[in-house]
């Protein structure tokens, strides 16, 4: 008779708790930082002036019908949530940064619709399984740092047969290239975090959603931007209004050579995408992915 294999002793919960607590504390600190980034500047104005038309694009893509339960993840001030409500959906607009909700509430009131505004982390949504007929995000969930966690939550809260619609900036498009331009001046990504523009890569999104969806459609399109009179005007607008740009400049504020280099790089980026003078337009590429929850 052979000896039984040795059975390792049960893990001591107290021994693993410090590591678990440290991970949880680091995640809370990261989310606090993200909230502060998006609360800085004036994202609602930027969203309204530049990309408000993208909300209806993602809402139309999942064909929101009257009475549908709709969740807008990382909703900001309601680019997609308000159009979904205008189509008759029962809508929840969720975001990690509730400072953006006041503008959203005002715009919803002006549009004559009511919806629920809910503070929520895209990586830990406070909703029951299969709670929604349609789940959408318009250049929002892409900024959650842990892509697989966020995708898992999108899938979890969508009912079987429900629709998912995601609109994200592509890595090769203008905004993706803007993040590439800012990267040398930005803080390194935390361990386990992935670059936001990966959500604009079809293969990456298909991998994230996996076998939990079918009827997947992905197409690249672009929004036309004619807001800026010069490359310098673009740069200064983003320095004033866009949280991620504000954060990068804040990090190098005490290094004037770095500030000048980033100033020049953003101006050159805008020039390379066709902006040279008033009347010029740029085209900012995005990926629109739709899928049905199996």
User: Strands 282-293 and 213-225, how do they pair?
Assistant: antiparallel
Contact 83, 47 (CB under 8 A): no
Please state, in angstroms and rounded to a whole number, the distance separating the CA atoms of residues 165 and 157. Answer: 13
State residue 12's pLDDT score: 54
Write down the CATH number for the domain with range 30-227+284-293: 3.40.50.150
Helix (H) or strand (E) holding 81: helix 81-86
Bridge partners of residue 291, in order along the sequence: 164
Helix (H) or strand (E) holding 261: helix 256-272
Please state, in angstroms and rounded to a whole number, the distance separating the CA atoms of residues 268 and 181. Answer: 10
Domain ranges of the chain: 30-227+284-293
Please state, in angstroms and rounded to a whole number, the distance separating the CA atoms of residues 71 and 136. Answer: 6
Nearest to 77 by CA among 67, 88, 49: 49
Helix (H) or strand (E) holding 123: none
Task: From first to last of the 294 residues of the chain, give the pLDDT tens digit.
Answer: 334 334 444 445 454 455 577 778 888 899 999 999 999 999 999 999 999 999 999 999 999 999 999 999 999 999 999 999 999 999 999 999 999 999 999 999 999 999 999 999 999 999 999 999 999 999 999 999 999 999 999 999 999 999 999 999 999 999 999 999 999 999 999 999 999 999 999 999 999 999 999 999 999 999 999 999 999 999 999 999 999 999 999 999 999 999 999 999 999 999 999 999 999 999 999 999 999 999
Q: What is the pTM of this model?
A: 0.92
State residue 86's pLDDT score: 98
């Amino acid at each position: 008779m052979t000896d039984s294999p040795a059975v390792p002793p049960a893990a001591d919960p107290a021994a693993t708790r410090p590591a678990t607590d440290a991970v949880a504390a680091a995640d809370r600190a990261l989310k606090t930082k993200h909230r502060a980034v998006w609360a800085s500047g004036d994202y609602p104005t930027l969203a309204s002036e530049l990309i408000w038309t993208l909300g209806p694009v993602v809402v139309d893509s999942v064909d929101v019908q009257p009475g549908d339960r709709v969740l807008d993840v990382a909703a900001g001030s309601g680019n997609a949530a308000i159009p979904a409500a205008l189509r008759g959906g029962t809508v929840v607009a969720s975001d990690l940064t509730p400072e953006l909700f006041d503008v959203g509430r005002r715009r919803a009131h002006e549009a004559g619709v009511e919806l629920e505004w809910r503070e929520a982390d895209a990586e830990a949504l406070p909703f029951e399984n299969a709670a929604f007929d349609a789940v959408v995000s318009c250049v929002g969930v892409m900024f959650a740092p842990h892509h697989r966690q966020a995708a898992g939550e999108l899938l979890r809260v969508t009912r079987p047969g429900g629709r998912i619609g995601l609109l994200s900036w592509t890595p090769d498009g203008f905004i993706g290239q803007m993040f590439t331009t800012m990267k040398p001046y930005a803080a390194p990504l935390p361990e386990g975090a992935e670059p936001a523009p990966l959500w604009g890569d079809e293969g990456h999104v298909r991998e994230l959603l996996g076998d939990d969806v079918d009827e997947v459609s992905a197409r690249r399109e672009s929004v036309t931007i004619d807001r800026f009179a010069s490359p310098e005007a673009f740069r200064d607008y983003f320095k004033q209004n866009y949280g991620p740009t504000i954060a990068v400049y804040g990090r190098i504020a005490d290094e004037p050579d770095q500030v000048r280099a980033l100033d020049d790089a953003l101006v050159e980026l805008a020039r390379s995408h066709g902006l040279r003078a008033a009347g010029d337009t740029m085209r900012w590429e995005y990926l629109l992915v739709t899928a049905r929850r199996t």
